[in-house]
Structure 1
Amino acid sequence: MHHPHSTTRPQAPASARRRTGRLAGAAAALAALVGLGTLGGPGAHAADNPYERGPAPTTSSIEAARGPYAVSQTSVSSLAVTGFGGGTIYYPTSTSDGTFGAVAVSPGFTAYESSIAWLGPRLASQGFVVFTIDTLTTVDQPDSRGRQLLAALDYLTERSSVRGRVDASRLGVMGHSMGGGGSLEAAKTRPSLQAAIPLTPWNTDKSWPELTTPTLIFGADGDTVAPVATHAEPFYNGLSSRLDRAYLELNGATHFTPNSSNTTIAKYSISWLKRFIDNDTRYEQFLCPLPQPSLTIEEYRGNCPHTS
């Protein structure tokens, strides 16, 4: 496991001594000094990974209802955007840690943004900008929802009031049901996406060998709308075996379990987004070795160790 404090302590004075006048060197020294000064606060992140945000994680920190960052939010009217239906942007209030990775989240068939809104503050408080969206209509199919997720990310990074807080090179997508199918479509269309998390996804396309985005698929053992045998499991099996991929089947769950606050969904989504959007290997411990069946996990499959 990566321990940022064990590396930053000796590095800080060394970095200070090796001033080269280059901005990168100064930034690395500052990051190390900030890490020392806060002793594990939100600003502490190792100089060798500039994308790390927040203190070293623990099981309790990724299961918590809120992470280390205070969260603000702003509403985006459907009248102010094109290509999707507007939504709500949740973001860390402080700018002291620089930019953050971002994720757009789509609701499912016949559903509105409110059905996935709990993910906004839950994920943003861990150090992400999160855009929960409405779709153009509630009956949009997965391919349309995929395009809308990408339109939302483009708005977020190019036009939104918080665009200066977002690192446009570190983006991901999530979605429920048809929105989950849409997250697969978005990753297929835009390979530069760093993470995809379909939640009890539905799609008529069952195989995704072309995806290069690290993908975590959530299924539910009691799903009768998008049964895992015909949706989540084939989607996972259809991903390249060379891809960083995982399948988590929720125990005692239904198709609509992702529509309300869920600790298992949150902890593994946070770990996946941190690991692949932020390249934060401090979260690898929660993904490898593979989680074992439990009261909330029926089954977990995946590749370990991760390659990217």
Structure 2
Amino acid sequence: MAVGGLVTAQSGSAGAAENPYERGPEPTVSSIEAPRGHYAVSETRVPSLGVTGFGGGTIYYPTSTADGTFGAVAISPGFTATQSSISWLGPRLASQGFVVFTIDTLTTVDQPDSRGEQLLAALDYLTQRSTVRGRVDSSRLGVMGHSMGGGGSLEAAKSRPGLQAAIPLTGWNLDKTWPELRTPTLVVGADGDTVAPVSSHSEPFYESLPGSLDKAYLELNGASHFTPNTSNTTIAKYSVSWLKRFIDNDVRYERFLCPLPRPSTTIEEYRGNCPHTS
């Protein structure tokens, strides 16, 4: 037991020396598919009355401070939905070594441009005013969202190019072209989506991203527009890998993204540029 602990500590220190943003043990397929990762997670509720620019939410974060600060991601729900619809992502991502803010929006019918502004307001609150701001590295931030919140994550990345990662989940937006984006973006669509069909949303989003950008398109097999609203191993696996690779610059996760994943019982299609450059 003691020897094993010593080996783990030494390998972790070596990794930290090479990349100070690496968090957690050596990843495996099992570890990124697991319902919970390496870190115990705590959470704190943020009431809407205590914030401006968004509707409050819940912050999930690694309980331990032994590994220093963490990158962070804000996540928006979709049209007519509240944070409860995307709450499963909070502890799942936080347990892998992120501070995660699942938010409520100002109204449940806010459009993507407003949701993008609210995601950025939530990140600003998280890094500047929240009770866990000392645990967050404000230079390593990302955004995610479902449906209109997914469209909002594209809007947020457009407004703030310094974001490290964006992941729209079955995103919806009337704007189909995003050549301005400079944020590594993983577009997630669903083959059975009738609300935001991939042919008129996720695929055009992805195809319009700059060719030089680190980007990927994951189309879920046997899935619907609302698949991101419940715990999903495929969404979690590739979201964790994308966030680790680009928020933490943790190249240990590159092998789960490149070579490109092949079609399977859960993946209809996966496109992307490999190897990644940032």
Instruction: Report the TM-score range of the alignment, normalised by the length of the smaller protein.
Output: over 0.9
1:93-133 Cα distance to aligned partner (Å, 9 max, x none): 00000000000000000000000000000000000000000
Change in 2 beyond 3 A, CA 1:35/1:250? farther
Q: Is the 8 A contact 1:35 1:46 kept in 2?
A: no
Q: Classify 1:219/1:35 alpha carbon distance in 2 versus 1 (closer, same or farther; 3 Å).
A: farther
1:171 matched residue in structure 2: 141
Q: Is 2:108 the partner of 1:138?
A: yes
Is the Cα–Cα contact under 8 Å of residues 51 and 279 in structure 1 kept in the other structure? yes
TM-score norm. by structure 2 comes to: 0.96
Question: In the alignment, does 2:168 pair up with 1:198?
Answer: yes
Matches within 5 A, 1:90-109: 90-109=60-79
Q: Which runs of 5+ in 1 are unaligned?
A: 1-33
Which residue does 1:3 correspond to in 2?
A: none
How is 1:269-308 mapped onto 2 (pairs within 5 angstroms)?
Answer: 269-308=239-278
Query: Is the CA contact (8 Å cut-off) linking 1:35 and 1:44 kept in structure 2?
Result: no
Per the alignment, residue 38 of structure 1 pairs with 9
Deviation by residue 1:232-291 (Cα, 9 ceiling, x = unmatched):
000000100100000000000000000000000000000000000000000000000000
Residue 48 of structure 1: how far off its partner (Å): 1.1
Task: Quote the residue 1:30 is aligned against.
Answer: none
Aligned match of 1:268 = 238
Cα 1:273–1:35 change in 2 (3 A) is farther
Percent identity (aligned): 81
Cα shift at 1:46: 3.0
Partner of 2:154 in structure 1? 184
Given the superposition, is the C-alpha separation of residues 35 and 293 from structure 1 closer, same or farther in structure 2, using an over 3 Å criterion?
farther
User: In the alignment, residue 264 of structure 1 is paired with which amino acid?
Assistant: T
| CA separation of 1:40 and 1:260: change in aligned 2, threshold 3 A | farther
**Superposition map of 1:69-80 within 5 A:** 69-80=39-50
Q: Which of 228, 240, 246 is equivalent to 1:258?
A: 228
Once residues 142 and 265 of structure 1 are traced to their aligned partners in structure 2, the CA distance between those partners, rounded to angstroms, is: 21
SS of the aligned residue for 1:47 comes to helix
Q: Does 1:210 align with 2:180?
A: yes
How many residues matched?
Answer: 274
The answer (yes or no) to whether the contact 1:107–1:176 under 8 Å persists in 2 is: yes
Structure-1 residue corresponding to 2:189:
219
Q: C-alpha offsets along residues 40-89 of structure 1, whole Å, 9 cap, x if unaligned?
A: 67x77431100000001000000000000000000000000000000000
In 1: Cα distance, 2:67 partner to 2:35 partner: 21
- Find out whether 1:238 has 2:208 as its counterpart: yes
- Structure-1 separation of matches of 2:89 and 2:17: 29
The code of the aligned residue for 1:38 comes to A
Contact 1:106 1:113 in 2 (8 A): yes
From 31, 35, 38, give the equivalent of 1:61.
Answer: 31
2:276 and 2:166 map into 1 onto residues whose CA distance is 15
User: CA separation in 2, counterparts of 1:180 and 1:210?
Assistant: 17
